[in-house]
Each structure stands twice: as C-alpha cells, then as structure tokens.
Amino acid sequence: MGRDACYDRELGVLSHLSHPNIISLIGGCVHQDTERIIVYEFMPLRTLYDHLHGN
C-alpha cells in the first residue's frame, strides 16, 4: 500500500472515531507532496505523555 493510500485510510478511520477518551480529529493536509499532517483537537492543561503516564 502506498504512502497516500495509508494516509487516506488512516484519516478515514480517525474521522469515524467518537469516544470521550479519544481526542477528535480536526483534519489533515498534504504539504508540497512531502509532508502528511494530521490535526487533532487541543488538549488543555497537560501533554498526552502526562495523561498517559499520570504525571
């Protein structure tokens, strides 16, 4: 599976997730055909690492 197909598939899956413990997908974009970016909602107060490790 090519890079574009994997990216599109991942965005498709993420766009259908809805759970209180999962941050929401805002969107995604491809920059100059070299960077694939996925944007999630802002998670205030702490980092994801802190949430996962109880810091």
- For 53, 54, 55, the CA distances from 38, given in Å and listed in that order, are 23, 25, 25
pLDDT attached to residue 15:
92
The answer, yes or no, to whether residue 48 has pLDDT greater than 90, is no
Query: Do the Cβ atoms of 11 and 25 come closer than 8 Å?
Result: yes
Neighbours of 49 (CB within 10 A): 8
The answer, yes or no, to whether residue 47 has pLDDT greater than 90, is no
Range of the domain at 47: 3-53
The answer, yes or no, to whether residue 1 has pLDDT greater than 80, is no
Q: Model's pTM, two decimal places? A: 0.65
Q: What is the pLDDT of residues 7-44, one digit of tens each?
A: 999 999 999 999 988 889 999 999 898 899 999 988 78
**Domain count for the chain:** 1
- 55 residue type, one letter: N
Helices (H), 1-53: 3-15, 48-53
Please, what is the Cα angle at 8 between 23 and 21, to 5 degrees? 15
